[in-house]
Amino acid sequence: MTAGAKGAGMGSLRWTILATALLVVTVLGITLGETAMPLAEIWKGLRGEEGPAALTVRFLRAPRVLTALGAGACLGLSGALFQRLLRNPLASPDLMGFAPGAGLAMMITLAFGITLPPPLVSATGGVLAALSVAILAHRRDEGLAPLRLVLVGLGFGFTCSALAAFLMLTLPGPLALEAQRWLSGSLAARGWGHVAQIWLPGLILILLLVLQVRALSLLDLGDDLAQSLGLRAGRARMWLAATGVGLMAAGVAVAGPVAFVPLMAGPLGAAITGARRIGPALLAAALTGALITCGADLVARAAVPGVGLPLGLLTGLLGAPYLLWRLSLEIERGGL
């Protein structure tokens, strides 16, 4: 066996591992819960037979798991896209304050009783946040340094979260409690409406991203080379950023500003699959994002009987140590 074939063999094994993990988490997500359900019951439920188990599967578990998968994939893709675009593993939309911005926009509509489609609101918030952070982090002498973008975005995120927490206090009791859960990321009580809300815009945005993969890989070569190969670098970058914000917003609209999923999915996916080229790396990021979100949601509702932990808590516990480790790597490498 040649080295190349062996590498490919290893590669497909790693992809299989990722896909299997995703499948296992999906199945567990449907089986486990307040009442554990044997697979036979689930099969009945999915085939449309009647009974309490069928109802649970069809109206509670299946939409929740599908929403988690969709939101996770969108968030993961968005993170990986920005990390590639800004060539910095820390430049993800949650760390740069875009996700808190989208969360704040959702909170504003809730507090002032405005009814608009959530993905639209979240996208508007995300775009405004991205523009604000870019403008605030821009310096005439140094342009847009990715690290200043992260640091300013961090402050922007703090501000948005504080404003959202403030608005939450203006809400009446039960609504405030729900809003608080949502603000830290939650997939509780998701129905088929949410599934449509994430998968329709999600699939369109993923399609848009697929069309731009070539541009992204050209930009990866450096602006000068990309220009000489016939790419309008500035415009391509803007479209890619817009797609990234859109993906992030779609995820936030149904799952709330879940911490660290966009940040982790890309690098983790690349580590699992060994994907280096941009197309496969993005696919790995989407699958890993879905895996993390669905898995975290599973742990959040099943870990402590009777206590539904917030989803953002789990991703935070998972993501923060990862980021600390990543940070130490960057520092040792002298990238920071």
Partner 1 sequence: MRAGFLLPLALLIAVLLALLVGVRMIPPAAAWAALTSFDPYDADHVAFLDLRLPRLWAGLIAGTALGLAGVILRALTRNPLAEPGALGINAGAALAVVTGALIAGRGDGGIVVALAFPGALASMIAVFFIGGMGRGGAGPMRLALAGAVLNALLLSLTTGIVLLRSEGVEVLRFWTVGSLTQAAGRPLAAMAGLVALSALIALLIAPRLELLSLGDSMARGLGARAGRVKAAGLILVAMLAASSVAVAGPIAFLGLIVPELARRIVGAGLRAQMLAALLLGPAVLLLADVAGRLILQPGEVRAGLMVGLVGGPVFIALARRVRPGALA
Distance CA 84, CA 236 (A): 13
Are 216 and 231 in contact, with CB atoms under 8 Å apart? Answer: no
Q: Which of 17, 23, 116, 331 is in the footprint of partner 1 by CB under 8 A?
A: 331
Q: Which is nearer to partner 1, 70 or 125 (CB)?
A: 125
Smallest separation (angstroms) from partner 1 to the CB of 184: 8
User: Residues 6 or more apart from 179 whose CB is under 8 A from it?
Assistant: 107, 110, 168, 171
Q: Which is nearer to partner 1, 24 or 177 (CB)?
A: 177
Which of the stretches 62-70, 177-185, 196-204, 244-252 binds partner 1 when contact is defined by CB under 8 A? 177-185
Distance CA 333, CA 79 (A): 22
Structure tokens given for 113: 């009783």
Smallest separation (angstroms) from partner 1 to the CB of 302: 15
User: Residues 6 or more apart from 293 whose CB is under 8 A from it?
Assistant: 68, 69, 71, 72, 75, 76, 187, 255, 258, 261, 311, 315
- Give the closest residue to 98 by CA, choosing from 143, 147, 148, 154: 154
Which of the stretches 131-139, 218-226, 229-237, 278-286 binds partner 1 when contact is defined by CB under 8 A? 131-139
Smallest separation (angstroms) from partner 1 to the CB of 266: 17
Distance CA 234, CA 249 (A): 22
Q: Which of 162, 200, 207, 238 is in the footprint of partner 1 by CB under 8 A?
A: 162
Structure tokens given for 207: 């399609």
Q: Which of 43, 59, 166, 192 is in the footprint of partner 1 by CB under 8 A?
A: 166
Q: Name residue, tokens 């600390």.
A: 324
Smallest separation (angstroms) from partner 1 to the CB of 170: 6
| Residue 126 to residues 95, 135, 228, 253, 261, Cα–Cα distance (Å) | 13, 14, 32, 10, 16
Binding mask 84-113 for partner 1 (x = CB under 8 A): ------x-----------------------
Smallest separation (angstroms) from partner 1 to the CB of 320: 3
Q: Does residue 144 bind partner 1 (CB under 8 A)?
A: no
Binding mask 183-212 for partner 1 (x = CB under 8 A): -x----------------------------
Distance CA 58, CA 65 (A): 11
- Give the closest residue to 308 by CA, choosing from 299, 317, 295: 299
3-state secondary structure at position 50: coil
Distance CA 84, CA 327 (A): 17
Q: Does residue 323 bind partner 1 (CB under 8 A)?
A: yes
Q: Which is nearer to partner 1, 187 or 226 (CB)?
A: 187
Q: Which of 60, 131, 147, 188 is in the footprint of partner 1 by CB under 8 A?
A: 147
Q: Which is nearer to partner 1, 32 or 165 (CB)?
A: 165
330, 334, 335, 336: CA torsion to nearest 10: 80
Q: Does residue 158 bind partner 1 (CB under 8 A)?
A: yes
Residues 280-319 that bind partner 1 (CB under 8 A): 304, 307, 309-310, 312-313, 316-317
Q: Site residues (CB under 8 A) for partner 1?
A: 90, 136-137, 139, 142, 145, 147-148, 150-152, 154-156, 158-160, 162-163, 165-166, 169-170, 177, 180, 184, 259, 304, 307, 309-310, 312-313, 316-317, 320-321, 323-324, 327-328, 331-332, 334, 336
